[in-house]
Structure 1
């Protein structure tokens, strides 16, 4: 008898060209899925092609603010993943448009084709949050669950990995500056999570191994203050720098100025976010709505950071064990 080959499932990954997205695409490609990646600029998504086999990954044009493009992008999908997010507003890219309207548009489009949905939110999402980012993230979650009751929602803490915007940014500052700022005294707590672990959780949700209709909180094995994160960073890049506490009022003043730049290092909304701890809740841990509950052993920053921050040492990978 002639064996009938089954066509691999089609997974549509909105935001697949970003930091988290490329790791999600890689995890899905390894599992043999066909992957469609809707992005605003497909011509800038060429870095995704080597992550899979020839023809396995297809960037297409779409914008979550343009509803008809979202509907077109999900045609034929078996599962849809929403990774789209912005850290600051710019032009038409507003928090409400991307996090709330965009999330509802993707959920409604997925429902219309009968596809499953995995939605990436963020720890700290809260309908009553002062931060526009955190509040609109919560509104996005609400829109998703109102549209698809069995959707899977992940709330990761700060993601770290080779292309992250957190450790890489401060390591870059440490190259040239003798001091590093500790906003609010550096007391805010984080639970940094390896982007590869987040991608694995997303891939398992596509496989149907994650119970839907629940919100999962994803954090790493360590809870660290902002100051401890900077100390770990300096240890890895083998540099000595002065850590200067910056009170919240001064941080707000700096953000008022820096926020005017095209690609700001700090905004007033981010200062509001940094005032709140960013760790997995006791309720999530108790109810196994964590990486461990998904059967994933989270990796620590001590294991991963040296694999990509070595380039910030004074002599790169050839640096001796002496502080610069």
Structure 2
């Protein structure tokens, strides 16, 4: 795949509205790219390793343009935004390492992107955050997400904030892991007493919602959307529903959050970081879309149920998920 410099796209893209997607090779980002391409947008993926873009998108589907850009590099960010109609910040960081801190990525990097988008004349900016983002939180990840929202709206007043609930999909680190553990563990340890309320949302529905926000022509843009799935569960109910869909039963046992935090502190040093203290902090609070903010229905997106995807994951029990 050809990887041109920003602004050097061929004539095939010149008549299209161009959207630059930062984080466009990630779990959500690559789906955003696909949905934008299907809607006829020109798409430019800004990535630290643009040569990896070709591996993410299949040979039988439209391929986006790729440019090298790191949210820490103001010149690269500015170049990636040149000539763009819209921009999406889908960059995410769940574990800090080196200069990749939550503040550096979710606050400073987000502010830098928003500021350069405004200076480049970008008409629409979508910033992906998350339900529960809180600048006053004691948890570093949650606090950085909240501060990042404030920084983005200060730099780009017309930005649209997208706050998904916990996202799930066939290749995620949430539902896929739950299915595996429900299938294999004789007893499932819950976060606390399992009463945290969750409204999991299908990652493809979130991507479609973002594409529709960028594609709206009716002037009905809203400053913030909270995106949740069709059902609210307690954590225990979610486990039971997953087990039921799999045709099995799950035995659950409460486990104090303090124990989980201790385990996560150790897990953060393991390869692949299977569990983090910030994930535990998120599980202490309900993760449910606000009734006071627009969501998937206002964007005419019908939310997909967790059980539908569980059925596809568990269709062949002998195959790895």
State the superposition RMSD in angstroms: 2.3
Q: Residues 237-316 of structure 1: matches in 2 within 5 Å? A: 237-284=246-293, 289-311=294-316, 313-314=317-318
Q: Structure 1: any 5+ residue segments left out of the alignment?
A: 318-324
State whether structure 2 residue 79 is matched by structure 1 residue 98. Answer: no
Q: Is the CA contact 2:240–2:249 (under 8 Å) kept in the aligned structure 1?
A: no
Distance 2:28 2:282 in 1: 20
One of 186, 191, 204 as aligned partner of 1:183:
191
| 1:208-241 per-position Cα deviation (integer Å, ceiling 9, x unaligned) | 3574461111101100111122222223333444
Question: Which moved further from structure 2: 26-35 or 203-212?
Answer: 203-212
* Residue of structure 1 aligned with 2:226, choices 217, 228, 244: 217
**Corresponding residue for 2:45?**
37
1:262 Cα deviation after fit: 4.0
CA contact (8 A) 2:239 2:250 kept: no
Tell me the CA shift for residue 295 of structure 1. 2.2
* Partner residue, 2:72: 65
Contact 1:154 1:216 in 2 (8 A): yes
Distance verdict in 2 for CA 1:291–1:233, change over 3 Å: same
Give 1:92 deviation, angstroms: 2.2
Distance 1:44 1:173 in 2: 31
- Using the alignment, how far apart are the partners of 1:51 and 1:64 within structure 2? 28
Cα drift, residue 182 of structure 1: 0.6
In 1, Cα distance between the equivalents of 2:136 and 2:267? Answer: 26
Structure 1 residues 51 and 235: alpha-carbon distance in aligned structure 2, compared to 1, 3 A threshold = farther
User: How far apart are residue 316 of structure 1 and its match?
Assistant: 8.1
Contact 1:131 1:270 in 2 (8 A): no
CA distance in 1, matches of 2:57, 2:268: 34
TM-score, normalisation: structure 2: 0.88
3-state SS of 2:135 partner: coil
Q: Is contact 2:213–2:299 with CA below 8 Å preserved after alignment?
A: no
Q: C-alpha deviations, 1:264-287, integer Å up to 9, x for none?
A: 222222221110100012322xxx
Give the whole-Å Cα distance in 2 for the aligned partners of 1:49 and 1:304.
21
Match of 1:18 in 2: 26
1:81 paired residue among 68, 84, 88:
88
Name the CA shift for 1:102/1:52 in 2 (closer, same or farther; >3 Å): farther
Size of the alignment, in residue pairs?
Answer: 308
